[in-house]
Structure 1
C-alpha cells in the first residue's frame, strides 16, 4: 500500500502546511497520522480532524472552539488539529488562525493545514510569520503524485537492490558515478517501467488502476478532468472544448518556452493575459509548474517560461478525455518528469521552494541553444535527451557552458568525460528516495 510519510516528525507546538493537488492523498496522509497517534496512546479527545469544504471564516472559529470544548478542563496536554482543505474557507482563514495562535491555547498545539490552492495559501501563510513554532524550517510540506522509485515499488517492478539516493548537488560526484554504474544492470527493466510511468503517472488511484487492469480507469480520468475544469479553471467559466484545447496545446509545448499570445490564438482565448491567467490557475492548483529562463543564478522574469505539468497523466489528460486530441511525445514527458524529480529533490532540501519557484530554470546559451535544467542547487546542468544514441552534440553544448552535467537519455550510459549520459529512469529513481 502506498503510504508516503508526508507528516513525519510533526509535533506540538508547531503549525504545518501540507500542499499538493487534489486526489494526491493529503487527506489520507492526515488519517494515517491520526491512526499512528491513536496507536501510540494519544487521547482520542485531543485529536480533531475536519474538512473545510463549504466553510466560512466563522465556521473555522467555531470548529476550534468546539474542539477545545471536547477536552476536560484538567487536560494539560497539547491537542492535535488536522484541518483539511483550509483554502476552501477563503482568504480570511489565515487571519482566523493567526488570531487563535496569538490569543488562545492553540499556540501550544500541533496544527496541520492542507490546501490545494497555492494562491489561497500564499497570502494567508505570510500572515502566520512567527507563529509556525520552533520547527518552522520544516513546516512547509509538499505532496505530489508518487515519484518513479515509488511507482516501481508499487507496480511489481524488479526493484534494484542498490541502496541510497542522490541530492541534486551530487549528480556528478564520485558516489553518483558508482550508483549510476550499479543501476546500469537494471536498465532494461527500468526503461520499461519508466515508459509505463510516463503513461500512467503517479496519482495513487491511477497506479492502483494500472496494477489491477493495466491502464488508468475511465473513472479516475473523469475525476482528474473534474479537478481541472471544476477547481482549477472554474472561475473562468470556459467551455469544455476550450479547456481541452488549452491542455492539449500546453502538453504539445512541454519542451519549449510558452508564447502566451500564440496559446491564446490557438485555443480561442481572448489574449495573452487570458492565456497567462489560465496557466496561473493550473500552477496555483499544483497541476502545472513554471520553469523560468535563467539570468545567472536568478530567473529572468521578463523572458518566456516553460510550463510543465506535475504528472504525466495531467500532460496527457486532453487525449485521455477526448481520443481525438494529440498527446505529448514520450521524450517530452521524460523531460518533464526529470524536471519534476529535480524540483521535488530541491524542495526536500529547501521546503517551500517548489511552490515559490525560481530555483529550477532553463537556459538560453549565447548560440541560442537550450539547456533544460539549471539552477543554484544543481551540480552542473541536466539536459533531457531521451535517445539511445546521437546525444553527443548536446553534451558539447552542456560542456561548453557548464563544464559538467548529466544528459538524461533513454538507455545510453556513458560516464566518461565531463558530461555523463545517464538513463532518465536511473536518474529519476535515484532522485526519489521514497518507496
Structure 2
C-alpha cells in the first residue's frame, strides 16, 4: 500500500472549485519535478474520499515507462480509451501532456464531448502555446506550481517523520538545497545533491534542447551560466554581450542572447521580473531581473555553492509571492530602486529585502526608496533581524517567520 502523500494545500485550495467543471480544463504548469504529479494524485485521493468510484478516475502518465512511446494524438486517444470501463462521468488526468505533439485536439475533443473533468500538467510554458491558447480561450484555467516553499518544506519533513532542527538551521538548509520534493527523501547530502543536479540536467535536456535546436551550444551554456550565477541582479543585455565577448571570448548577438533567456524562462528554470518606473508609471524595457525557480538550480550548476544571502533572500520572497498569485516587478524611482512592487487584483505593496539593517548606513539605504513613494499603499521591509525597527510607516518583518507562517502580503 502506498504511503499517504503530503498534500500541498496551497495549490489544492485553488483547484478545488474546479474539480467538477467539465467545461474547463485545469492546467498545472511548473518546473520539472516540482510536484505536479503528486498534486494530481492528491486530487484523485480527495475525489475517492468524496465517494467517486476508482474506475472513474483515469490517469495517463506520459513520462511513465509504459506510455513513454505515446507521441501522437491518435496514440494518446487510444491510451485514454483503453482505460475507460464505461460511459460514466470521468475525471481524466494527463501528466506531462506536452510530450504529445498535437495533444490539443485530443484534449479539446474530450472537453467538447462532456462527461470528462480534465486535468493536465506540463513542465514548461510551451504547454499553452499554439492551438490550446487560441482554441480554448476562456475554457481553461492555469495554475502555476513551484517547488516547496519554506513552510511546505518543514511540513513535508514532518510528514516524512524527519527530525527538524532549529528554524534558522532549516531555513539555511532550504536556501542552499532548495525544495524539489523528492530530494527530501535523501538523507545523504551527496545523494541529494546528485539528485537535484540530475533534475536540472533533465530540465535543460528535455525542456530546452529537445524542443529547440540550439546551434551554438557553447554560447548557450555560457549565457545560461551567466544568468544562473547572477540571479536577482539587474540584467542588461548589452553588458552581458560585452562580458561574454571580453571575458568568455564568445560572440553572441543581442537577439540570440534574448532568445536564450527566453528558453530558460519557458522551461521555468528562471522567472523574469520586469522593471517599472514609478515616476512615469511605465514598464521599462531591458534591465530586468531573473530569479531561480529553486535555489538548488544555483547549487547544481556551480562548484562553489556558498550561500549569498542577499540574492537568496530576494529569490525566496519573489517565488513565494508568485506562488500566492501576486504579480511582481522591480521598481525604479529616479536613481533609487525598490526591490519589488507587488500587485494582486487592485491592491499594491512596496517591498525591500535585506539580510540585516543593523548597520545604520544599510538601514538608511533600504528605507530611502520608501521616502520617494507618495501614494498610500503599504510598504514592507523584510530582513532576518530578530529585533525590528518601525519607522516612517514601514512594516519591518522577519522574512524567515513570514515564510514559515506561509503568509499573504496582499
The normalised TM-score by structure 1 is 0.76
Tell me which of 23, 31, 39 is aligned to 2:41. 31
**Is residue 113 of structure 1 aligned with residue 120 of structure 2?**
yes
CA distance 1:83–1:400, change in 2 (3 Å): same
Cα contact 1:200–1:207 (8 A) shared by 2 = no
- Any unmatched runs of 5+ in structure 2? 63-67, 160-164
Residues 84 and 109 of structure 1: is their aligned pair in 2 closer, same or farther, counting only changes over 3 Å?
same
1:400 maps onto 2:372 in alignment: yes
Evaluate the alpha carbon distance shift between residue 130 and residue 362 of structure 1 in structure 2; reply closer, same or farther with a 3 A threshold: closer
Query: Corresponding residue for 1:426?
Result: 401
The residue number in structure 2 matching 1:58 is 74
Between the aligned partners of 1:415 and 1:148, the Cα distance in structure 2 is 25
Q: Spell out the pairing of 1:340-355 with structure 2 (5 A cutoff).
A: 340-347=319-326
**Counterpart among 142, 152, 155 of residue 153 in structure 1:** 155
**Partner Cα separation in structure 2 for residue 191 and residue 392 of structure 1:** 26
CA 1:40–1:207 in structure 2 vs 1: closer, same or farther (change >3 Å)? same
How far apart, CA to CA, are the structure 1 residues paired with 2:189 and 2:183?
10
Check conservation: 2:351, 2:381, Cα contact below 8 A. yes
Contact 2:273/2:288 (8 A) holds in 1: yes
Deviation at 1:64, TM superposition (A): 4.0
Do structure 1's residue 313 and structure 2's residue 317 form an aligned pair? no
CA contact (8 A) 2:145 2:323 kept: no
Q: Secondary structure at the match of 1:286?
A: coil
Whose helix fraction is larger, Structure 1's or Structure 2's?
A: 1
SS of residue paired to 2:388: coil
**Residue 178 (structure 1) aligns with:** none
Distance in 1, Cα, partners of 2:216 & 2:185: 31
CA separation of 1:430 and 1:125: change in aligned 2, threshold 3 A: farther
Question: What's the CA shift for 1:314?
Answer: 1.3
Quote the offset at 1:301 in angstroms. Answer: 5.3
Instruction: Answer yes or no: is the 8 Å Cα contact 1:229–1:240 preserved in 2.
Output: no
1:86 and 2:97 aligned: yes
Q: CA deviation at 1:140?
A: 2.1
Partner in structure 2 of residue 19 of structure 1: 29
Q: Does 1:384 align with 2:360?
A: no
The alignment partner of 2:44 has SS state of helix
Residues 51 and 83 of structure 1 are in contact (CA less than 8 Å); yes or no, is this contact kept in structure 2?
Answer: yes
Structure 1: any 5+ residue segments left out of the alignment?
Answer: 133-138, 158-187, 348-358
Q: Which residue of 1 aligns with 2:331?
A: 363
CA distance in 1, matches of 2:82, 2:156: 40
What's the CA shift for 1:28?
2.0
SS in 1 for 2:261: helix
| 2:65 aligned residue | none
CA displacement 1:251-283 (0-9 Å, x = unmatched): 332232212243345253622222222211121
TM score, norm. by length of structure 2: 0.80
C-alpha offsets along residues 32-79 of structure 1, whole Å, 9 cap, x if unaligned? 3334434544333322111235421222233344444x21xxx5x411
Instruction: Name which structure has the greater RCO, CA cutoff 8 Å, separation 6+.
Output: 1
Taking only aligned residues, the RMSD between alpha carbons, in angstroms, comes to 3.0
Alpha carbons 2:193, 2:300 under 8 Å: kept: no
What is the aligned length? 370
Of 332-341 and 300-309, more deviation after overlay is shown by: 300-309
Q: Deviations over 1:232-263 (max 9, x none)?
A: 33134478765654343223322322122433
C-alpha distance in 2 between matches for 1:51 and 1:299: 44
In 2 relative to 1, CA 424–50 (structure 1 residues): closer, same or farther, beyond 3 Å? same
Contact 2:208 2:263 in 1 (8 A): yes
Instruction: Tell me how far 1:214 sits from its aligned partner.
Output: 5.1
2:185 to 197, 200, 208: 208
Distance 1:84 1:395, change over 3 A: same
Q: Answer whether contact 2:274 2:284 (CA < 8 A) is retained.
A: yes
Structure 2 CA distance for aligned equivalents of residues 254 and 292 of structure 1: 13
